[in-house]
Amino acid sequence: MYQTSEVKSSFLYTLLVMILFMIPNYFAIKATMEKEENINKLELMQWVSEVERYIYTEDGDLPKSVKFKIALYDYNYNKIVSNLINEPKNLTFETYIDYPYMYYQKNIDKNVHSVAYIICETKINHSKVILTAATLFLVILLITYVFSRIIIRNTTTPYKLMQRYMNDFFNDTMHELKTPLGVININLELIAPNLKETKHMKRIKAATKQMQMTYEDVEYYIKNKRTKYVKEQINLSQYLESRIFFFEDLSSSKSINIKYSISEAIEVFINKVEIQRIIDNTISNAIKYSNYAGTIEISLDKDDYICTFVVKDFGQGIKDTKAIFDRFKREDSVQGGFGLGLNIVQNICNKNNIKINIESSEGVGSRFEYKIDLYKRKFLDYAENRK
């Protein structure tokens, strides 16, 4: 992950530097070409002067050159002699460029050869300038990329080490918590039938389940990027009902009444761990932010293609419904938690094409709605699970 991030950062940094470099480089290339054209013009003028000496003499041969071509015209622009490679279409100019040829024209006085105009042609070549600029550009591009990689790598190394230490810490901590948490749950189940259901016992059960939920959130957060969560056919009606029973101890600890309406035989195609994270986090938040002795309404129904899972509470409400999905963001720090739950929910919903709709008013309560596709196993889902 960090390797990919380094490459992207280096590429973006290099791209930015090269864009900034190209602006002065463009003007430098343009100035170099203009300079080359001026040099060619001076050379054309000098060669025309050589030809002009011939014009004013009765004897002598017309000067010859490998680099320059000439054409002589009378006063009516009738051609007297020419060895131009490319005849200019318009003869009314002093200097004219029809790339890759450059022309210079000079008017001369009366002479024995009846020549009125001399046009001289030479070939200009900007390929050397362009090649030099391209080479320079590539060299600077390579140097910039290498140095940016070195700088970014050195800058991010401490953060990588810190992240690695944090991951190791979380992994070790989760491993150490798993066994005692399992022991607590098993022993509570064993002794519960033999003990009176007191408020203290209810608090122990509620606290244990809250701890289990926090453990499962952190475990999913650590593992989700490297673990393949295989989708399966799930009877959401039965599973949701079982999760509601799981939260009875938590809700009863605040004397909260959970009312639910669940349509039968609703089946979806999703990983059980991921749908559990959606259900558990939504219900636990409703309990957490509900008023004492309040009510929570849970419903699950369906139409032709989708099912709708709704959790509604009548508690303190949410100030900013968008910010709650940010990682480590908590609506109320007094209530505790890591702020991971709804960030995990959002990521799972995005992954499984589940639409979320939140309605909330401060002091009135919140309504979380999830629209989930009904079970219809597709070939792509099957192929995805086979990877």
Q: Which domains does the chain have, with CATH numbers?
A: 2-128 (no CATH), 225-386 (3.30.565.10)
- Is residue 215 classed exposed, middle or buried when 0-12, 13-18 and 19+ CB atoms within 10 A define those classes? middle
CB proximity list for 172: less than 8 A, separation 6 or greater: none
Reply yes or no: is the peptide bond before residue 100 cis, omega within 30 of 0. Answer: yes
Q: What pTM does this model have?
A: 0.55
Measured between alpha carbons, how far is 305 from 287 in angstroms, rounded to an integer?
A: 30
What pLDDT score was predicted for residue 140?
78
CB proximity list for 278: less than 8 A, separation 6 or greater: 309, 345, 348, 349, 354, 370
**CA trace torsion 13, 17, 19, 21 (10° rounding):** -170
What pLDDT score was predicted for residue 164?
76
On the question of pLDDT at 59 being above 70, the answer is: no
Band the pLDDT of 261: cuts 50, 70, 90.
very high
Q: How many helices (H) and strands (E) does the chain have?
A: 8, 12
What pLDDT score was predicted for residue 7?
67
What pLDDT score was predicted for residue 175?
66
Extended beta strands in the chain, E state: 68-73, 79-82, 95-98, 101-107, 117-123, 232-235, 257-262, 267-270, 295-302, 306-313, 355-361, 365-373
On the question of pLDDT at 37 being above 90, the answer is: no
Say if CB 152 and CB 10 are below 8 A apart.
yes
On the question of pLDDT at 242 being above 50, the answer is: yes
What pLDDT score was predicted for residue 338?
47
Band the pLDDT of 266: cuts 50, 70, 90.
very high
CB proximity list for 167: less than 8 A, separation 6 or greater: 222
On the question of pLDDT at 334 being above 50, the answer is: no
Say if CB 205 and CB 188 are below 8 A apart.
yes
What pLDDT score was predicted for residue 262?
93
Higher pLDDT, 209 or 107: 107
What pLDDT score was predicted for residue 384?
54
Band the pLDDT of 58: cuts 50, 70, 90.
low
Task: Point out the least confidently predicted range of 1-15, 148-162, 323-337.
Answer: 323-337
